[in-house]
Chain A
Amino acid sequence: MKLIEALQIANAPQGGPLFRVLLACGFTPLHLQTAVKAHLRLSLPTRSIEVRTGIYGDLGGTLESAREPLDAVLVVLEWGDLDPRLSWRSPGKVSGEVISDARARLSRIEKAIAILADKTIVAISLPSLPMAPVLHAPSSELQSVEAALLEMLYRLAASTRAVALHPKTLRQGSEHDLRSELMNGFPYSFSYADALAAGLVRIVLPAEPKKGLITDLDETLWSGILGDDGLEGISWDVDHKTGFHGVYQQLLNVLADAGILLGVASKNDARLVDDALARPDLVVEPRHLFPIEAHWRPKPESVERILEAWNVGPDSVVFVDDNSLELAQMKAAFPAMECLEFHRDDAGFLLELRDRFGKREIRQEDTLRVASLRDGQAVREAADSASLDSLLAGAKATMTFRWGKQPPDPRALELINKTNQFNLNGVRYTQVEWNAYLSDPARHLLVVEYEDRFGKLGKIAVLAGREQGESFDLDVWVMSCRAFSRRIEHQCVKLLLSRWESLHLLFERTERNAPMMDFLADAAPGSREIRRAAFNRWCPQLFHKTESING
């Protein structure tokens, strides 16, 4: 983005609820403020963006004085924040005490960040400019003082509650605009400020990670054509100079451990594929691959079945194949699906592939996902052969209802912000908005856990709303698609109606919440209200053992 484009985007008329951001830096924010606002506006077109800045030369003070509710805080560290003597505007004689001074300043910044991080998301970037020439060693050598300062910065990055921007993503060689720094106090070239703003905004408003990867086998998961080369003719190891496929398989393990779904779509002989996936030297763990569609029918049919088994949309999935014709066919069948050509011996391909699924943290539910999908398939298959009632009666299901808003459960907000299908209204919340929502004493929060003989699903539903006498205004209700077909939603309503006489549902139709709409069409036909007596007359038999825990 050029400066003039950023100005046009940032200064265009805006409307919608306010999104407040603090841009905390020790230098004049100038074009970085413009770039941050432009990137936020591109990411949040329905919001009004306000980017506040702080006190020149006092990053710690800026962070400490942030009192009002903020939707995000962006902290941009430069050498001058550790000690003004390290900056180009006021370079000074540096001696040993610069390290203790810098430690004190960084400690103050870290404490202020910790307080802010309790309430909102904080992103931080480490110094990216060259230090002013205040040390005597040549720049080709890492002097001990600079090394000690770098150690301090990386310790901060490791311990801070802020999310740190990886310095490698910004390295471009043209960061510094010394003329601008000396004239105006703004130290960056605009191209660098633009990249920095984009990186910080990506931390605050990350793209929704993809949920699943469907991979081809021949010349993708392994080198060689299984049908032609035979079981021993395919390889993925360094000895055969095909180690890149082994690295790809290891990446699939990493993704699976983070809860990413892995499916296989391959035109192949199913029995041969079974044998190949049973080879003891296989790097990817076969249990991670589900479903495996290996046959000679068109691949779009395979992908259709995989999406059905996963219960996710094509826009949440990446398809990887070495054959450009197959990729084109898949793109034609599923325009929303990202279809990537497998690039052998290209490190960038694997790193960019990983980034499409990037997760900041892994929760227990992530590790349960594939197992619960396999179990879900078992439930559906069982339901085909027996009545749903008898199946559920024998499922030995336990539902645990956790009432309460403290301590905050990050899984609740995560579920609300990523669930599309069984979602009452599609409303998403930032951390600050969610905190504000819960701060109303009349509001109640319910997190639901589920387990049955087919497996543990973990925390799979969130309900929240406001008590209004005998009624409950339900404005948050999401349930993971892994939990469908178990009458969990019925049990949730039953539980709420054991406390309140009626539920008032703040339902809004979205592009993807048809499952919620279908449920409400049966549970609350023609209205937005469910009353206890009417629900009890309609509700099918429920078999769950339930437990309520008050927080």
Chain B
Amino acid sequence: MDNEQRLIRCFQAVFPELTETEVARASVSRLAAWDSVATVTLAASVEEEFGIQFEADEIEKMNSFPSFLKYVATRSGA
């Protein structure tokens, strides 16, 4: 499973109603369910899935699926 699929799995665990296509477009501004608790939960599940750890200021910047994907790609060297 590539990074994108693994990240989609994390997003769908937090937002089970989203399809893969919707996950790819998900952002704080487009998704009402994406609140501060969802951000923390997403960050924790991504940390667990990829074995990485966000800095506090980095989590605040994770406001869309692409931003998470870019971060994961940078940290995992993919």
- The chain A residues found within 8 Å of chain B, CB to CB, are 2-4, 7-8, 11-12, 30-31, 34, 179-180, 183-184, 186, 190
Q: A7-B41, A184-B40 are in contact. Are A2 and B56 (CB under 8 A)?
A: no
CB distance from A176 to the nearest CB of B (A): 15
Q: A4-B9, A11-B16, A183-B56 are in contact. Are A30 and B37 (CB under 8 A)?
A: yes
CB distance from B43 to the nearest CB of A (A): 9
- Chain A residues lying within 8 Å of B35, measured Cβ to Cβ, are none
B40 near A7 with CB under 8 A, answer no
- Chain B residues lying within 8 Å of A2, measured Cβ to Cβ, are 48
User: In the complex, what residue of chain B is closest to A2 when comparing beta carbons?
Assistant: B48
- Chain A residues lying within 8 Å of B53, measured Cβ to Cβ, are 179
Known: A4-B9, A4-B49. 17 other contacts (CB 8 A): A3-B44, A3-B45, A4-B13, A4-B45, A7-B14, A8-B13, A11-B13, A11-B14, A11-B16, A12-B16, A31-B44, A179-B53, A183-B59, A184-B40, A186-B40, A190-B44, A190-B48
- Chain A residues lying within 8 Å of B48, measured Cβ to Cβ, are 2-4, 190
Q: A12-B16, A31-B44 are in contact. Are A4 and B10 (CB under 8 A)?
A: yes
Q: Residues 1-30 of chain B: 1 if any A CB is under 8 Å from the residue's CB, otherwise 0? A: 000000001100110100000000000000
CA A333 to CA B64, docked complex, whole Å: 58
- Chain A residues lying within 8 Å of B59, measured Cβ to Cβ, are 183
- Chain B residues lying within 8 Å of A11, measured Cβ to Cβ, are 13-14, 16
CA A184 to CA B35, docked complex, whole Å: 13
User: In the complex, what residue of chain A is closest to B48 when comparing beta carbons?
Assistant: A3
Q: Binding site of A, secondary structure by majority: helix, strand, loop or mixed?
A: helix
B41 near A30 with CB under 8 A, answer yes
Q: Provide 19 A-B residue pairs closer than 8 Å at the C-beta atoms, listed in order of the A residue.
A: A2-B48, A3-B41, A3-B48, A4-B13, A4-B48, A4-B49, A7-B13, A7-B14, A7-B41, A7-B45, A8-B13, A11-B14, A30-B40, A30-B41, A34-B41, A179-B53, A183-B59, A190-B44, A190-B48
- Chain B residues lying within 8 Å of A186, measured Cβ to Cβ, are 40
CB distance from A59 to the nearest CB of B (A): 20
CB distance from A183 to the nearest CB of B (A): 5
CA A200 to CA B49, docked complex, whole Å: 26
CA A31 to CA B47, docked complex, whole Å: 14
- Chain B residues lying within 8 Å of A184, measured Cβ to Cβ, are 40
CA A52 to CA B16, docked complex, whole Å: 20
CA A158 to CA B73, docked complex, whole Å: 53
CB distance from B10 to the nearest CB of A (A): 6
8 Å CB interface, B35-76 against A: 37, 40-41, 44-45, 48-49, 53, 56, 59
- Chain A residues lying within 8 Å of B45, measured Cβ to Cβ, are 3-4, 7
CA A4 to CA B9, docked complex, whole Å: 8
- Chain A residues lying within 8 Å of B13, measured Cβ to Cβ, are 4, 7-8, 11
Q: Binding site of B, secondary structure by majority: helix, strand, loop or mixed?
A: helix
- A-B pairs, top 3 by smallest CB distance, nearest first, are A7-B13, A11-B16, A4-B13
CA A418 to CA B48, docked complex, whole Å: 41
CB distance from A8 to the nearest CB of B (A): 5
CB distance from B34 to the nearest CB of A (A): 14
- Chain B residues lying within 8 Å of A180, measured Cβ to Cβ, are 44
- Chain B residues lying within 8 Å of A7, measured Cβ to Cβ, are 13-14, 41, 45
CB distance from A180 to the nearest CB of B (A): 8
CB distance from B32 to the nearest CB of A (A): 16
CA A138 to CA B8, docked complex, whole Å: 47
Interface centre among A11, A183, A184 (most CB of B within 10 A): A184
CA A4 to CA B46, docked complex, whole Å: 9
CA A4 to CA B14, docked complex, whole Å: 8
CB distance from A392 to the nearest CB of B (A): 61
CB distance from A107 to the nearest CB of B (A): 32
User: In the complex, what residue of chain A is closest to B39 when comparing beta carbons?
Assistant: A184
CB distance from B50 to the nearest CB of A (A): 11
- Chain A residues lying within 8 Å of B10, measured Cβ to Cβ, are 4
User: In the complex, what residue of chain A is closest to B46 when comparing beta carbons?
Assistant: A4
User: In the complex, what residue of chain B is closest to A33 when comparing beta carbons?
Assistant: B37
CB distance from A155 to the nearest CB of B (A): 36
User: In the complex, what residue of chain B is closest to A184 when comparing beta carbons?
Assistant: B40
User: In the complex, what residue of chain B is closest to A183 when comparing beta carbons?
Assistant: B56
User: In the complex, what residue of chain B is closest to A6 when comparing beta carbons?
Assistant: B13
User: In the complex, what residue of chain B is closest to A180 when comparing beta carbons?
Assistant: B44
User: In the complex, what residue of chain A is closest to B42 when comparing beta carbons?
Assistant: A7
CB distance from B73 to the nearest CB of A (A): 19
CA A34 to CA B48, docked complex, whole Å: 15
CA A190 to CA B45, docked complex, whole Å: 10
Interface centre among B13, B16, B49, B56 (most CB of A within 10 A): B13
CA A190 to CA B41, docked complex, whole Å: 11
CA A184 to CA B36, docked complex, whole Å: 10
User: In the complex, what residue of chain A is closest to B14 when comparing beta carbons?
Assistant: A7
CB distance from A53 to the nearest CB of B (A): 11
CA A184 to CA B59, docked complex, whole Å: 11
CB distance from B68 to the nearest CB of A (A): 14
CB distance from B33 to the nearest CB of A (A): 11
- Chain B residues lying within 8 Å of A12, measured Cβ to Cβ, are 16
User: In the complex, what residue of chain A is closest to B37 when comparing beta carbons?
Assistant: A30
User: In the complex, what residue of chain A is closest to B59 when comparing beta carbons?
Assistant: A183
CA A186 to CA B44, docked complex, whole Å: 11
CA A72 to CA B13, docked complex, whole Å: 26
CB distance from A25 to the nearest CB of B (A): 15
